[in-house]
Amino acid sequence: MDESSSPHASRRDLLRGAAAGAMMLAPAAAHAARDGDLAKVQAAIRNDHEANLKRLRDWIALPTIAAESRNIEEGCTHMMQLAREAGFQQVERVPSKGIPGVFATMDNGAKTTLGLYFMYDVKQFDPAEWSSPPLESRIVDRPGMGQVLIGRGAVNQKGPESLVLAALQGFRKAGAKPPVNLVLVAEGEEEIGSPNFAEIVRSPRVLAALKKCSGIIIPASWQSPVDGGVSVNLGAKGVIELELVVTGEAWGRGPAKDLHSSNKAIVDSPAWRLVQALQTLVSADGNTPAIDGWFDKVRPLTPREKALIADSAAKRDQAHEMKQMGVRHLVDDLPWQQALERLAAMPTVNIEGLVSGYTGPGGKTILPARAVAKLDMRLVPDQTYEDCVAKIKAHLVKRGFGDIAVNVSGGYDPTETPEDSKLIKAELAAYERAGIKTSIYPRLAGSWPGYVFTSAPVSLPAGQFGFGHGSGAHAPDEYLVIESSNPKVMGMDDASAAFADFLYQVAVIG
């Protein structure tokens, strides 16, 4: 198709304009643009579309699922190969007490170094819930979106990470050096709460490399389908993942093995005991944590944070976001701005799964000997993972539930990055040059292990950044837009090209 008649032509022209604009901003960017490097990189990305798409599809076909111990070494080896192919000169496997990670460096002789955080593990999936097989990466037409790729990891996180890899491949194919040095740290157990990632990051060689970085980003593809806008988060909530287990044996009451349900008249039920314990963790409506001391260290929103949320609320489309979530009401039917304040400020206690006894077709009249609840808790500043785990256990013991096993699988502290940091300034400048509307939001309601970068001993700004759109993380039919029919949202090629432009802005700001 003639580029001038392509639906993506206006976006490509805009990106070329961004390169021209960069010439007026700083000598380093002007020199790169004068040599035509960025234009060559963008052309290389477009010409390599099929290879870049295949890279993502091959990656999705190899799922690393930490919770199932699936493809642990295979995923690590594949991540190392992707890093080498992208131009990282030094790539190594970093062992930990659990799942290994990957550490890689790319020296481009630049003055500025940027850190990249990748995760190569994905959430579990049930193929029966998907409209197409979750590992086949089929391309389908989606009204209002264009052609999208459906697959586990499409948006969380292999898709956005593949856009970065495509940008780096573009530099290689164009014979150009990225304008910044790069340090990559990748893990294969984020989806179980990154229990060993701090060990990887704080190992001597990795820590020394990260200390040279101006900041660290996790790739994201979160453009709004409504207006193409992006929220720039100044942090993220922390998380605890655990399961509560009640058994007749540990309790000393109830059956030692599943029993005929007629005996309920005279035998205690572990399942009901678990329900009673869960009810103590939250308010009657289930929406506010009621764990002893849970709010002791919760820091209220500052006036500046409230102002940022008000601005964000004005720029975001409530109806669209609710439709995307599949909900018709918010907690307490709060007004949109108040709901977004609660989203940023409220710690949570959530039941991920609740299992006991028979769950197959029909009924099975048993009194189960075991009941399990899988929970996650989101933490806000100034809560900490260790303090909150201790409070959960103490809360249960105080109420006579000391027999309930609290099996913590992972988690970490909240993370924060200053609004005036160079990293945030570079993000905002890159979005502005690409013509993308932005709002700043105090913290992501979800979680990623950015705390290990923002806290000592690394102590760097860190956040999410990227272009394009995808949705359905952790859910069936997770997708990433490949060829966008929405002029406000970038497809795969343009999103990769825009990331290349972002690297020049990082170099300009330092």
Nearest partner of 383 among 233, 278, 239, judged by Cα: 239
User: How many Cβ atoms sit within 10 Å of the Cβ of residue 84?
Assistant: 13
DSSP 302: P
User: How many Cβ atoms sit within 10 Å of the Cβ of residue 158?
Assistant: 31
DSSP 131: S
* Integer angstrom CA distances of residue 111 from 41, 88, 108, 117, 214: 21, 17, 9, 20, 10
**What gap in Å lies between CA 445 and CA 308, rounded to an integer?**
15
**What gap in Å lies between CA 430 and CA 408, rounded to an integer?**
40
pLDDT in tens, 273-329: 999 999 999 999 999 999 999 999 999 999 999 999 999 999 999 999 999 899 999
3-236+416-509: CATH class: alpha beta
Peptide bond into 300 cis (omega under 30): no
117 - beta bridge partners?
A: 185
pLDDT in tens, 247-287: 999 999 999 999 999 999 999 999 999 999 999 999 999 99
The tokens for 287 are 């929406």
Peptide bond into 124 cis (omega under 30): no
pLDDT in tens, 489-509: 999 999 999 999 999 999 999
Domain made up of 238-298+347-412: CATH architecture: 2-Layer Sandwich (3.30)
SS3 83: helix
Place of tokens 């029966």: 128
24 - beta bridge partners?
A: none
Q: What mean pLDDT is predicted for residues 54-79?
A: 98
Cα distance from N-terminal residue to C-terminal residue, the chain: 39
**What gap in Å lies between CA 230 and CA 228, rounded to an integer?**
7
440 - beta bridge partners?
A: 232
CB 109 within 8 A of CB 210: no
**What gap in Å lies between CA 108 and CA 116, rounded to an integer?**
15
Q: How high is the mean pLDDT of the chain?
A: 93
**What gap in Å lies between CA 251 and CA 37, rounded to an integer?**
68
Residue-level pLDDT at 35: 52
Residue-level pLDDT at 510: 82
**What gap in Å lies between CA 72 and CA 65, rounded to an integer?**
7
Q: Across the beta sheet with 479-484, what order do the strands follow? A: 138-142, 146-150, 479-484, 470-471
pLDDT in tens, 86-144: 999 999 999 999 999 999 999 999 999 999 999 999 999 999 999 999 999 999 999 99
User: How is the chain split into domains, by residue range?
Assistant: 3-236+416-509, 238-298+347-412
Maximum C-alpha span of the chain: 84
Per-residue pLDDT at 19 exceeds 90: no
CB 153 within 8 A of CB 221: no
CB 153 within 8 A of CB 60: yes
Higher pLDDT, 292 or 12: 292
**What gap in Å lies between CA 340 and CA 344, rounded to an integer?**
6
Helix (H) or strand (E) holding 227: none
The three-state DSSP-derived secondary structure of 231-248 is EEECEECEEEEEEEEEEH
**What gap in Å lies between CA 492 and CA 484, rounded to an integer?**
8
φ, ψ dihedrals at 318, nearest 5°? -60, -45
